[in-house]
């Protein structure tokens, strides 16, 4: 039976519970400057009927009413009303472009899961990374998409991870790390794997050891210790950053 005809005869409370149970998590693309996706349409449940829309729209936040960044006067001149993107911050993963992140944070400060299309890693590190650091504790996971190749013939670069090494170190090479989990992937090249707080040190360490094995004179001494949270001879990172008053057991640099 594809249609439940007695549904309208159910008590209102039961119908509302059914509407609520029908809400599913989505990956919602918002804003402009997107290169891999288009903006997401409204959730289908809001178009099911007026009762569903009236009951469920309170669970959603309307954001990014325009497809492109517009000035106030440009918006006033537009004859068509804005077309919003609807987001349920308790369930949905928000997908946005790097250069609209500030607006996303402004309009959706309680977002829990975030995917960011990156266009310029250097600009991100020096100008935008503090935006995430200052977000509320509700933010759980941030997935960053490495910039797409400029052409379809773009080749895989095995050193792509170096563009994100400073960011990962600034967030996690300390006993006071940021509160959210970071994943960095390159969608066009699955062989790139993933960079995250659990493996970014190993990725860099393994790369340096491979280079040292080929040309030890160029790379000098490379530590054979796998614990990167301490200072040691031949260590690329010269010390785990301690926060004031910490009592962690990680070894401190000799000058501390």
DSSP string, 172-220: HSBSS--SSEEEEE-TT-GGG-EE-TTTHHHHHHHHHHHHHHH-HHHH-
pLDDT over 90 at 146, yes or no: yes
- Listed ranges 92-96, 124-128, 167-171; the one with the highest mean pLDDT: 92-96
Handedness of CA 157, 159, 163, 169 (dihedral sign): positive
CA–CA distance, 150 with 202 (Å, rounded to integer):
29
pLDDT over 70 at 76, yes or no: no
Q: What proportion of the chain, given as a percentage, has pLDDT over 70?
A: 79
Question: Helix, strand, coil shares of the chain as percentages rounded to 5?
Answer: 35, 15, 50
The 10 Å Cβ neighbour count of residue 145 is 21
Mean pLDDT, residues 34-50 taken together? 89
Which of the two residues, 34 and 222, has the higher pLDDT score? 34
pLDDT value for 27 = 96
Q: Give residue limits of the domains in the chain.
A: 25-45+61-150+158-199
pLDDT value for 225 = 65
pLDDT value for 184 = 97
Q: How far is CA 140 from CA 89, 90, 114, 127, in A?
A: 12, 11, 8, 22
In the three-class reduction of DSSP (H, G, I as helix; E, B as strand; rest coil), residue 144 is classed as: strand
Q: Binning pLDDT at 50, 70 and 90, where does residue 254 land?
A: very low
C-alpha closest to that of 225 among 208, 242, 211, 241: 208
Q: What proportion of the chain, given as a percentage, has pLDDT over 90?
A: 32
pLDDT value for 251 = 53
Q: List pLDDT tens digits, range 78-105.
A: 555 667 889 999 999 999 999 889 888 8
Range with lowest mean pLDDT among 99-108, 113-122, 222-231: 222-231
Mean pLDDT, residues 129-134 taken together? 86
pTM here is 0.83
Q: In whole numbers, what is the pLDDT of the chain averaged over residues?
A: 82
pLDDT value for 97 = 92
pLDDT value for 228 = 61
Mean pLDDT, residues 126-141 taken together? 88
């Amino acid at each position: 039976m594809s249609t439940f005809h007695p549904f309208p005869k159910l008590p209102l409370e039961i119908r509302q519970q059914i509407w609520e149970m029908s809400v599913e998590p989505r990956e919602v693309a918002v804003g402009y400057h997107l290169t891999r996706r288009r903006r997401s349409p409204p959730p289908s449940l809001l178009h099911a009927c007026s009762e569903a829309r009236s009951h469920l729209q309170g669970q959603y936040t309307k954001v990014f009413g325009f497809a492109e960044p517009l000035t106030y006067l440009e918006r006033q001149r537009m004859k068509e009303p804005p077309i919003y993107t609807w987001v349920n911050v308790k369930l949905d993963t928000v997908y946005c472009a790097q250069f609209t992140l500030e607006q996303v944070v402004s309009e959706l400060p309680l977002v829990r899961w975030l995917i960011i299309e990156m266009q310029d890693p250097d600009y991100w590190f020096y100008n935008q990374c503090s935006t995430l650091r200052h977000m509320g504790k509700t933010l759980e996971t941030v997935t960053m998409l490495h910039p797409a190749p400029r052409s379809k013939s773009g080749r895989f670069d095995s050193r792509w991870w170096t563009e994100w090494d400073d960011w990962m170190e600034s967030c996690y090479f300390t006993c006071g790390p940021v509160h959210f989990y970071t994943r960095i992937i390159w969608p066009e090249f699955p062989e790139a794997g993933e960079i995250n707080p659990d493996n970014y040190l190993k990725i860099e360490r393994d790369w340096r050891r491979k280079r040292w094995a080929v040309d030890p004179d160029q790379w000098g001494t490379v530590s054979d210790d796998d614990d990167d949270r301490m200072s040691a001879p031949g260590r690329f990172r010269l010390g785990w950053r301690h926060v004031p008053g910490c009592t962690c057991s990680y070894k401190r640099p000799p000058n501390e």
